[in-house]
Amino acid sequence: MYNRILVPTDGSKVAQTAVDNAIDLAEKYGAEVHALYVADTDAIAFGLGTEQVDRIDQGDFASMTELREDAENATGYVVEQAEKNGLTAVEHHAGGKPHEKIAGYAENNGIDLIVIGSHGRSGVRRALLGSVTERVLRSTHVPVLVVDYEGDH
């Protein structure tokens, strides 16, 4: 049923909850796990030059040590968990609008399921903040499993 499972991650506890669920499903189905880190260029563009934003859009974080480390730590955690369970994992780093990159990656890589975390926000707070998870749901035809994080909001 699922051959390739995508888990977008930023390394947060919310994302780690999604990773745990993705790994569990991947074990059950013998699926390959894809870990995707997306640097939101809209959120980090302030104070950066156009050239730096363009490099981030291309997934080139080499010149930005902190961003590169965040990306490597986030996707590295997924790979570590996958390998502990005898699964194959693929890491990818990208820059841009997270929901677009997630949907595009899923479409371009034959992803069968996206497993993504959510803070469980609702009402005005979600409307004001926007929700990557909600936008992913509207941006793809790939099934999406939304994992609600039960910890501190």
Closest CA to 7 of 69, 58, 79: 79
Q: Given this model, what pLDDT does residue 98 score?
A: 93
Residue 129 has pLDDT above 50, yes or no: no
Average pLDDT of the segment spanning 107-125: 81
Residue 99 has pLDDT above 80, yes or no: yes
25 vs 8: CA distance, rounded Å: 15
For residue 118, list its beta bridge partners.
Answer: 148
CATH number of the domain enclosing 49: 3.40.50.620
Is 153 among the domain residues? no
Element (H, E) at 40: strand 32-40
Q: Is residue 96 part of a domain?
A: yes
CA gap 121, 110 in Å, rounded:
30
On whether residue 71 sits in a domain, the answer given is: yes
- pLDDT at residue 1 greater than cutoff 80: yes
pTM: 0.84
Number of domains in the chain: 1
Say how far apart CA 50 and CA 56 lie, in whole Å. Answer: 10
- For 33, the 3-state DSSP assignment is strand
**20 within domain boundaries:** yes
